[in-house]
């Protein structure tokens, strides 16, 4: 009769990776659709609006545009 020994190290390693991956996916879904999503903001949309105002990359722009964006106060612009 042959005896086989099974080393659980590989099984534990693969199981740990699966648990970490599943936990990351679950957290991502929760933060996107759950109660945590209320704190998220659409940075792409904000950046597009800043492009429309001409101030997206700090290349100048008018003082009025900065004030409209709410990013800086008009009196802070030199």
For 34-68, how does the pLDDT look when each residue is reduced to its tens digit (9 = 90+)?
A: 886 777 778 888 888 888 877 777 655 566 666 66
| pLDDT band of 75, cuts 50, 70, 90 | very low
pTM tops 0.95: no
Cα-based torsion angle of the residue sequence 31, 33, 39, 40 in order, rounded to the nearest 10 degrees: 80
């Amino acid at each position: 009769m042959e005896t086989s020994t099974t080393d659980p190290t590989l099984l534990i390693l693969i199981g740990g990776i699966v648990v970490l991956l599943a936990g990351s996916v679950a957290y991502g879904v929760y933060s996107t659709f759950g109660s945590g999503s209320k704190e998220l903001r659409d940075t792409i949309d904000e950046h597009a609006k800043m492009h429309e105002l001409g101030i997206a990359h700090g290349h100048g722009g008018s003082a009025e545009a900065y004030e409209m964006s709410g990013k800086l106060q008009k009196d802070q612009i030199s």
